[in-house]
Amino acid sequence: MKKEVLLVDNVHKKIKNREIIKGISFSIKEGDVLGFLGPNGSGKSTTLRMIVGLSKPTEGEIKICGHSIVKDYVKAMENVGCIIEGPDLYNYMTGWDNLEMLAAMNKNITKDDIMKAAEIVGMEKHLKEKVGTYSLGMKQRLGLAQALMNKPKLLILDEPTNGLDPSGINEFRNLIKKLAKEENIAILISSHLMSEIELICDNVSIIKNGTILKNAVVEELLNTQEIFWILDDNKKGQEILKDTYGINSKINDGKLETAIDKSKISDINTSFIREGLKLEFVDNKHKTLEDLFLDITEE
């Protein structure tokens, strides 16, 4: 049984009498990567801020490794590494000075830990330069090093790939997977980039207007049961489906579409051919997370 690292339970947040978060719940287990998706202004960032204690929930509970972030802040935060809305570090200090100063505020972070974190993100060669001279990508890496040096059990990353180039994004993706699988870290990533979440995350939570619309496993979400055929006579195909299998289908854009169990496909194909239909194409209807996201959030 995997341990639960983060629990968000029925959390509400009111700012100036406007309810921004209307009771959201989700959890992350160790080694899992949860993608947090939502349009701008949906409450994503507010939720992340509440998880790391930058702001307090008006109602509900947030627990990290069993410690309440409100009542037991220090114990809860000992398990957390985070970047909230961009890697804002001290521009007039060198990379190393930044890391060392922040490390000094936690207990038990050795120079080795700092160096290791810098190596993981590939910043060890730039530590003597001032952060003000870094590119956005380098700042992101240093921000990540800062989040990793206390060996967290929960890593919270808000828009982590902003400013990274394609090879940087790829490296980042591999790094996140490695951290989750090898170090068993629970990771929460918020992003607008659906393709990114699709590739990195095991689970997604889709949030809009302060409510969670869907908590789901990415694979199940994408693995729809929808199939389509392209036949020389779609109308006839539709009749066959109805008469022989009792399946309702629709014709859309020259495609015969329906939702069935995959195991039946070869059987149906044989029937089509037996009835003299020409089978031009058959495939799973591919859905991307982006389609799903748009479907869900626009409802």
Residues that bind other proteins (CB under 8 A): 15, 49, 52-56, 73-75, 77-78, 80, 82, 84-86, 88-92, 102, 105-107, 146, 150
Judging by beta carbons within 10 Å of its beta carbon (0-12, 13-18, 19+), is residue 230 exposed, middle or buried?
Answer: middle
- CA-to-CA separations, 121 to 34, 57, 65, 154, in angstroms, rounded: 21, 33, 26, 17
Q: How far is the CB of 84 from other proteins (least distance, A)?
A: 5
For 192, which DSSP code? Answer: S
For other proteins, the closer of residues 150 and 238 by Cβ is 150
Q: How far is the CB of 48 from other proteins (least distance, A)?
A: 10
For other proteins, the closer of residues 86 and 122 by Cβ is 86
Q: How far is the CB of 106 from other proteins (least distance, A)?
A: 6
Q: How far is the CB of 107 from other proteins (least distance, A)?
A: 7
For other proteins, the closer of residues 18 and 107 by Cβ is 107
> Which spans in the chain are helix H?
44-51, 73-77, 95-105, 111-120, 136-148, 166-182, 194-200, 218-222, 234-240, 265-274, 289-298
Contact 214, 203 (CB under 8 A): no
35 — phi, psi (to 5°)? -95, 135
Q: What is the dihedral of CA 102, 106, 108, 114, to 10 degrees?
A: -20
For other proteins, the closer of residues 108 and 263 by Cβ is 108
Q: How far is the CB of 62 from other proteins (least distance, A)?
A: 14
For 243, which DSSP code? Answer: I
Q: How far is the CB of 82 from other proteins (least distance, A)?
A: 5
For other proteins, the closer of residues 45 and 258 by Cβ is 45
Please state, in angstroms and rounded to a whole number, the distance separating the CA atoms of residues 111 and 120.
14
For other proteins, the closer of residues 142 and 240 by Cβ is 142
User: What is the pairing mode between strands 211-217 and 186-191?
Assistant: unpaired
Q: How far is the CB of 245 from other proteins (least distance, A)?
A: 57
Can you tell me whether residue 122 is helix, strand or coil?
Answer: coil
Q: How far is the CB of 167 from other proteins (least distance, A)?
A: 27
For other proteins, the closer of residues 102 and 179 by Cβ is 102
Structure tokens given for 246: 């009792």
The beta-strand segments (E) located in 209-254 are: 211-217, 226-231, 250-252
- CA-to-CA separations, 261 to 84, 245, 258, in angstroms, rounded: 43, 12, 10
For other proteins, the closer of residues 78 and 159 by Cβ is 78
